[in-house]
Amino acid sequence: MMGTDEDYRWKGDGESPAREIELGEYQIAPYAVSNREFRNFVDDTGFGTDAERFEWSFVFHMFLPDDFPETRAVAATPWWRQVFGADWAHPAGPQSDLEGLLDHPVVHVSWNDAMAYCEWAGVRLPTEAEWERAARGGLELRRFAWGDELAPDGATMCNIWEGSFPVENTADDGYVGTAPVDAFPPNGFGLYNVAGNVWEWCADWFHSDFHRTGPTTDPTGPPAGEARVIRGGSYLCHDSYCDRYRVSARSSNAVDSSTGNMGFRVAAVPSDQRRSM
């Protein structure tokens, strides 16, 4: 069962209705792609990301030092700052690096960048339906990958914003920014961080209501669009602003966009099927 019949805040996202989807076998990574893995790809290929090509990316304002020069902010979301020199290897701007972050998810990667990595690694991005089925971990129509309570018995289950967004993060979960790709308990299928930490690119074009009329067997989304699906929410999600760490929640971004809270995990068809293709 994909989607939800519950009331939700973001009507334009098209989470509803809940509907039965049939999927064939596939494999999906337990973790998002890490900085170490993406560095191996860049070292092997010399690949330059979209952020490096544009020479800037979006950085959350709290990660910039107090003496950082004034930069342009996004009008509707002023906590995002345009920072020249920010990219996957410099996640908080040119003064930063990956020290202590190699086991954290790579960020500042666009959909184009994720696809290039997949081609190099011999894998692919999951479809949105594949992502949601895997993220549910065997549970049906639950709000989160572990059940209906955000913090069952007071346990911290994911890396999201805690405090008053966007000015104070208490970091009660242990992290202000990204967490390691294997942080927090896995879901029932052994997947880590399918809620919070970083948004994850999917293969599909985004549409708010295509699923109402589209195929229900191995759906791959609409044939064209203006943005690609992202799933899972991020360390910046908070109930007061963006509660998209719910497992049915969805959003989108342009294929060449990058931010400090977007990454990806990979998928593949089973090895026996690959041999017969």
CA 24/CA 3 separation, integer angstroms: 18
- Please give the structure tokens belonging to residue 113: 């960048």
Q: What is the CATH number of the domain that holds 51?
A: 3.90.1580.10
- Please give the structure tokens belonging to residue 91: 């996640």
* Residue 240, domain extent: 1-277
CA 215/CA 149 separation, integer angstroms: 32
pTM for the predicted model, two decimal places: 0.95
Alpha helices in the chain (DSSP H): 35-45, 50-54, 111-121, 128-136, 271-276
Query: Residue 166, preceding bond cis, omega within 30 degrees?
Result: yes
Please give the tally of structural domains in the chain: 1
List per-residue pLDDT tens for the chain, 277 residues long. Answer: 999 999 887 778 899 999 999 999 999 999 999 999 999 999 999 999 999 999 999 999 999 998 898 888 888 899 999 999 999 999 999 999 999 999 999 999 999 999 999 999 999 999 999 999 999 999 999 999 999 999 999 999 999 999 899 989 999 999 999 999 999 999 999 999 999 999 999 999 999 999 888 899 999 999 999 999 999 999 999 888 789 999 999 999 999 999 999 999 999 988 655 443 3
What 3-state DSSP class applies to 63? helix
What 3-state DSSP class applies to 64? coil
CB 254 within 8 A of CB 9: no
CB 197 within 8 A of CB 237: no
DSSP 159: B
